[in-house]
A = this chain, B = another copy of it.
Amino acid sequence: MGKRNLYLKNTPVQEAQEIYQKALEGVVTPQEEEIPVTESLNRVTTKAIYARYCSPLYNAAAMDGIAVEAERTKGASERTPLTLRPEGDFVVVDTGDPIHAPYDAVIMAEDLLEQADGSVQILESAAPWQHVRPIGEDIVAGEMLLPSRHRIRPIDIGVLLSGGITQVAVYRQPTVAIFPTGTEIIEPDQDPEDGAIIESNSRMFEAMVREQGGLPTRFAPIADDYELLKKSISEAVDNFDMVIVNAGSSAGTEDYTVHVLRELGQVIIHGVAIKPGKPVILAIVRGKPVIGLPGYPVSAYLTFENFVIPVLQQMNGQTSSRVPQVEAVISRRMVSSLKHREYVRVKVGKVDGKLVASPLARGAGAAMSLVRADGFCVIPQNSEGVEAGEKVTVELYRTMEEIDHTVVAIGSHDLILDVMADLMPTLYPGNYLSSTHVGSMGGLMALRRGEAHLAPTHLLDEETGTYNVPTLKKLFTEPMALIKGVDRVQGIMVKKGNPLGIRGIEDLPGVSYVNRQRGAGTRVLLDYKLKQAGIDPSAIRGYDREAATHMAVAAAIAGGDADAGMGIESAARSMGLDFIEVGPEEYDFAIPVRFLELPHVQHFLEVLKSREFAERVEKLGGYSLRQAGTILYI
């Protein structure tokens, strides 16, 4: 099996951060540079900045009008108007013009009676310094304009320039070398052959470095070759402020990184108690931080956040930005291990005034769980997990404002949900649809627990042969409605050209099948059809092999490790599979009546009935919208 790194440790996250920070102290010193204020947006000041000039620079007229000596306007009134002459009594000023001695007040143009000879009459005396902006009213020379470690905003640029500052000392942007490694990885524009992995982490890191104000340089992938890796890292250390090596950080046979770093410098930490993400390497080579990150995308993302960003912020003069946190109720039990701190991605919805966090896929490879997440829920290292209904703290990515205007759907998956989620904010800005896919029955259970506004469902009642309504009657006591969705066709997906010549349910015994999870409408339909045909499920090879969505079933067939699986026509089409019709079914939305009047639910209904939705669904194929948006009160 080859040589393994036996020394992968399990240091707690915070301890690892602190040990590494301590090791970097005195080694990493933030650098400073002077740049023009006009190019300083988002840069961070290294020291407090003091004004060079006052603003305004002089006593200035705050109004259009005339500048006068207040003392000499005394006694003017409606009954005893005072006439002022242009030679000596006043000067005309526009807003912003300087006011010089002996003048010390401004009378507004609106309050003047202009005379034919160029003189003016006033009906009221002027108070000293009226309508005059005194020198330094806004900024006084010598005043502190910005403190140190301040991220420069647009208004700061304006104020610095007004205060006579044109150059500003800021932290130099740290330069970061990023090395993707691995013999099997390919560039995104290469054709993927068997066993190839498209390299994308380094591009994500590039963007993360940019967001932190750093300057990333991403190198071409390096094959698993000890000497090559050593040479590359060694050169980078001389030319960059920081080096990131991606993948190869574990203890596998081809994981050279830790050996290279031990040879070149000092490995401070190898292995952190974080899930996903354990095999992190925190090293120092010739005074530069070098960090090895794991290859699974979620691990890569989380370990970058936890270990790279603090170092970048230190170099950049930033203190850690705290993410807003909220309390939410967790919708499902989550078991975790005492061995690590786990970051669980969650969708967050507000139902009945209560915040509910629904865990997403927990695998280290589930990058889409990060895309879909509204936030994170952290399960501490010393916890075995949380029970459904318990309160958890969520680090939020979205604003509460957005969450307040989001329709929460939990239940069966269909491609039309993605289309609706896309159309909601387009047609009704500020309104969103969030959907989590747990199958029809799972959705109805979530609805009953008050965790969703509505549940997409397609459950056949075996007794009556009708959809959804009987199940709702059975499960709910509160007044319910059914928003009619789409009629769609269920069928058997098989490889292009149907090589096994499958004609229907009766041909399933003997072929390799991939099923859906218990409670999924499609599985209920299969069971019903098998019963009708008198086939025992145990005769189906793969009946126990479960996939979570139509698309996952289609992918298994397209990938060649299953011959058939049931699903909807749009999924088969989208993966280029053949499709043998089994029968039509009704995919609807179950909803408690009291939610129907919510403004965002109303928008959901409007989207369902919109022309834009109809056009998009037409393109997917296999749907009928004849009843879409009709409401049945149960």
Contact = CB atoms under 8 A, between A and B. Distances in A.
Interface stretch (A144-152, A334-342, A442-450, A474-482): A144-152
A395 to B, nearest CB: 11
Interface in A119-158: 128-129, 133-149, 153-158
Chain A, interface size: which category?
Answer: 35 or more
Contact of A158 (B141, B254, B367, B552): B367
Interface stretch (A374-382, A457-465, A553-561): A553-561
A64 interface: yes
A84 interface: no
B129 A195 contact: no
B322 A399 contact: yes
Contacts of A421: 144, 147
B149 A41 contact: no
Contacts of A59: 559, 561
Given A418-B48, A422-B144, A97 B162 contact: no
Contacts of A370: 155, 159
Contacts of A57: 192, 196-198
Contacts of A153: 207
Given A135-B556, A188-B164, A549 B367 contact: no
Interface string A290-301: 000001010001
Nearest to A405: B322
Given A137-B365, A252-B94, A555-B135, A198 B164 contact: yes
A199 B37 CA distance: 13
A401 interface: yes
A200 interface: yes
A157 B545 contact: no
State the number of copies, please: 2
Given A136-B555, A430-B319, A146 B94 contact: no
Interface in A381-415: 399-401, 415
Given A48-B418, A324-B400, A137 B561 contact: no
A116 interface: no
A142 B574 contact: yes
Contact of A136 (B92, B135, B545, B556): B556
Given A211-B41, A322-B401, A158 B297 contact: yes
A159 B59 CA distance: 59
B184 A161 contact: no
A240 interface: no
Given A58-B194, A137-B552, 18 more contacts: A55-B198, A55-B367, A57-B197, A59-B561, A94-B252, A97-B195, A104-B561, A135-B556, A138-B366, A140-B575, A143-B551, A148-B426, A154-B301, A155-B297, A155-B371, A159-B200, A162-B297, A162-B367
13 contacts: A54-B558, A57-B197, A57-B198, A97-B184, A100-B194, A134-B556, A136-B555, A138-B366, A144-B415, A147-B425, A158-B204, A159-B368, A162-B297
